[in-house]
Amino acid sequence: MINTDDPTNASLPLVVFRLQDQEFALPIVEVTQLLRMVALTPVPDAPPWLAGIINLRGRVVQVMDLRTRLGFTSRPPNLDHRIMVVENGDSILGLIVDAISDVRTIPGEWIETSDPSSAITNLVTSVARFDDRLIAILNLDTLLSNAQEFLLSTSQEELAGPFAEDDQDQSAVQSILTGRARALATASKTETASDDMTVVVLRVGKEKYGVAMRFVSEVRPLDQVTLLPGAPGFYAGLVNLRGRIYGVLDLRRYLGLAEGEPVAKAKLVLVAAGGIEMGLRVDDVLGAQRATLSQFQPLLAEASDRPGVVTGVTPDLLSMLDLEALLADPALVVKQESN
């Protein structure tokens, strides 16, 4: 999890969402899915903040009414509400929000500690101020601990009760929400991912590339890089971050793009997949956007030097990178020469 109190974090990619007329955020690495609102199954004797549970591909997930938890007036669910699925380790929770505002990277200098006198100070780690906006960054650990405490006091039989069904007098909105919930319960992993995912948009030369946000752990300016003798030409070198050494892949060279003008302030994007962590050198991080897999059209094999890594492109020329395939590429293995 990103520590927003750590001044070494030069920037923080956030999912910004709205509750009533206020904005809140969570680091994008903690948000695994953005779902359309669905019907919820109520839980007996639940605390006021627990709106119910959903069946997420066979997994029971508690859903928190974030309005109630933060002291706002609760509202009935509607078709425009979103459920943000957040995870930390083995803990998972759904959060009902009014709307997703945007997904963007916030420079560290815009982030400050929260007001300790606030009534929800234990739920807010820091605040971001920019462009006349005030965004409260929430403490996911506290939200998850609330859910975990109730989970431990509730039998699995209560949580695994019958799924919410239609009533004859059910409203049209609730009928649609119930239909969505049934589809979510039976969806495959691929189908759910294609419904909605968040893509971090990278600029490399004149091209734009997208990576699924679940693979991104940090974005920061790329400072001093130590050259790695004997490494392939697409390696920029090594960086030391808080005592940990990361290999840095120059994405422009790796993808076979033409060399352009030197970039004064390149960005380092730390990614992890399949047990492998690495830094990507990119010219800039443009933010993030929601996308569906169906938006990406397959590429011809000859259209890319890395056809297994660049998996598709949108009509507005955003190319999707498969981070799992990239980090598993045997070409990334640095072979040491023997004396």
Report pLDDT digits (tens) over 13-33.
888 899 988 999 998 878 877
pLDDT of residue 80: 83
Q: How far apart are CA 61 and CA 102, in angstroms?
A: 24
How far is residue 102's CA from residue 107's CA, in Å, rounded to a whole number?
15
Q: Is 151 left (phi over 0), alpha (psi -120 to 50) or beta?
A: alpha
Distances (CA, A) of 306 to 73, 231, 324: 51, 19, 13
Return the CATH architecture of domain 11-195.
Beta Barrel (2.40)
CB 216 within 8 A of CB 28: yes
For the chain, the structural domain boundaries read 11-195, 197-332
Nearest to 126 by CA among 28, 31, 3, 288: 3
Domain 197-332 superfamily per CATH: CheA-289, Domain 4 (2.40.50.180)
d(CA 218, CA 9): 8
φ, ψ dihedrals at 87, nearest 5°? -140, 150
Phi, psi at 39, each rounded to 5°:
-70, 140
pLDDT on residue 121? 66
pLDDT mean by block of 10 residues, the chain; 339 residues = 45 87 89 84 87 86 92 84 86 90 81 70 85 90 79 52 43 71 63 61 90 82 86 91 90 85 80 90 82 73 65 85 90 66
At which residue do the structure tokens 């649609």 appear?
176
Q: What is the pLDDT of residue 117?
A: 54
Looking at residue 152, its pLDDT comes to: 53
Provide the sign of the torsion angle of the four alpha carbons 134, 137, 142, 144, taken in this order.
positive
8 A C-beta contact, residue 44 and residue 98: no
Read off φ and ψ for residue 223, nearest 5 degrees: -95, -130
Domains 11-195 and 197-332 share a fold: yes
- Separation of alpha carbons 72 and 267, rounded Å: 38
**What are the residues whose beta carbons fall under 8 Å from the beta carbon of 67, sequence distance 6 or more?**
19, 20, 73, 74, 75, 96, 98
Q: Which pLDDT value is given to residue 98?
A: 92
Q: In whole angstroms, what is the distance from residue 333 CA to residue 322 CA?
A: 18
Q: Where are the beta strands (DSSP E) in 263-317?
A: 267-273, 276-282, 284-291, 310-313
Question: What gap in Å lies between CA 31 and CA 158, rounded to an integer?
Answer: 27
In sequence order, the 6+-apart residues with CB closer than 8 A to the CB of 147 are 50, 62, 64, 91, 93
Record the tokens describing residue 16, joined without a space: 């910004």
Q: What is the pLDDT of residue 2?
A: 41
* Radius of gyration of the chain measured on its C-alpha atoms: 22
Query: Token match 């050259």: residue?
Result: 227
Please tell me the chain's helix, strand, coil percentages from 3-state DSSP, rounded to the nearest 5. 20, 40, 35
pLDDT given at position 236: 92
